[in-house]
A and B are shown apart, each in its own frame.
Chain A
Amino acid sequence: MEIAVVDYKGGNVQSVLFALERLGVQATLTADHEVLRRADKVLFPGEGEAASAMQELRAQGLHEVLPTLTQPFLGICLGMQLLGQHTQEGGGTDMLGILPFDVVRFPALPEYKVPHMGWNNLQTLNSPLFEGLSAEDYVYFVHSYYAPVGEYTIAEAAYPAPFSAAVQHENFYAVQFHTEKSGPVGTRILENFLKL
Chain B
Amino acid sequence: MLTKRIIPCLDIKDGRTVKGVQFEGLRDAGDPVALAARYAREGADELVFLDITATNQKRATLIALVRDVARELDIPFTVGGGIGSVADVEALLLNGADKVSINSAALARPELIDELAARFGSQCIVVAADARFNAADGWQVYTRAGTHNTGRDAVQWCREAADRGAGEILLTSMSNDGTKDGFALDITGAVSRAVTIPVIASGGAGSKQDFTNVFQQAQADAGLAASIFHFGEIGIRELKEHLRQDGIPVRL
- Which A residues have a C-beta under 8 Å from some C-beta of B? 11-12, 14-15, 18-19, 21-22, 47-49, 78, 108, 111, 113-121, 138, 140-144, 158-159, 178, 180-184, 186-187
Asked whether A48 and B120 contact (CB < 8 A) given A12-B98, A120-B1, the answer is: yes
Residue of A whose beta carbon sits closest to that of B45 = A119
B1 and A15 contact, CB distance less than 8 A: no
A114 and B196 contact, CB distance less than 8 A: yes
How many A-B pairs with Cβ below 8 Å? 109
Q: How far, in angstroms, from A49 to B76 measured CA to CA in the complex? A: 19
Task: Place the interface of chain B in its size category.
Answer: 35 or more
- Does residue B225 face the partner (Cβ distance < 8 Å to A)? no
Contact of B70 among A15, A116, A159 (CB under 8 A): A15
Task: Provide the B54-76 mask, 1 if CB < 8 A to any CB of A, else 0.
Answer: 00000000000001001100111
Q: In the assembled complex, how far is the CB of residue B65 from the closest CB belonging to chain A, in whole angstroms?
A: 14
Q: In the assembled complex, how far is the CB of residue A90 from the closest CB belonging to chain B, in whole angstroms?
A: 10
Query: How would you classify the secondary structure of chain B's contact residues: helix, strand, loop or mixed?
Result: loop
B97 and A12 contact, CB distance less than 8 A: yes
A187 and B74 contact, CB distance less than 8 A: yes
Stretch at the interface among B23-31, B88-96, B139-147, B171-179: B88-96
Q: How far, in angstroms, from A134 to B62 measured CA to CA in the complex? A: 39
B2 and A119 contact, CB distance less than 8 A: yes
| Inter-chain contacts of B86 with A (CB < 8 A) | none
| Inter-chain contacts of B97 with A (CB < 8 A) | 12
B251 and A49 contact, CB distance less than 8 A: no
Task: Provide the B102-134 mask, 1 if CB < 8 A to any CB of A, else 0.
Answer: 000000000000000011111110000000000
B96 and A15 contact, CB distance less than 8 A: yes
Cβ < 8 Å to A, chain B residues 237-251: 251
- Does residue B51 face the partner (Cβ distance < 8 Å to A)? no
Q: In the assembled complex, how far is the CB of residue A89 from the closest CB belonging to chain B, in whole angstroms?
A: 9
| Inter-chain contacts of B74 with A (CB < 8 A) | 19, 22, 180-184, 186-187
B197 and A114 contact, CB distance less than 8 A: yes
Q: In the assembled complex, how far is the CB of residue B165 from the closest CB belonging to chain A, in whole angstroms?
A: 10
| Inter-chain contacts of B95 with A (CB < 8 A) | 14
Residue of B whose beta carbon sits closest to that of A142 = B123
A118 and B75 contact, CB distance less than 8 A: no
A181 and B76 contact, CB distance less than 8 A: yes
B3 and A119 contact, CB distance less than 8 A: yes
| Inter-chain contacts of B35 with A (CB < 8 A) | none
Q: How far, in angstroms, from A175 to B3 measured CA to CA in the complex? A: 19
| Inter-chain contacts of B124 with A (CB < 8 A) | 11-12, 47-48, 142
Contact of B121 among A47, A118, A180 (CB under 8 A): A47
A159 and B2 contact, CB distance less than 8 A: yes
| Inter-chain contacts of B67 with A (CB < 8 A) | 14
A48 and B221 contact, CB distance less than 8 A: no
Q: How far, in angstroms, from A22 to B37 measured CA to CA in the complex? A: 13
| Inter-chain contacts of A141 with B (CB < 8 A) | 2
B70 and A18 contact, CB distance less than 8 A: yes
A14 and B251 contact, CB distance less than 8 A: no
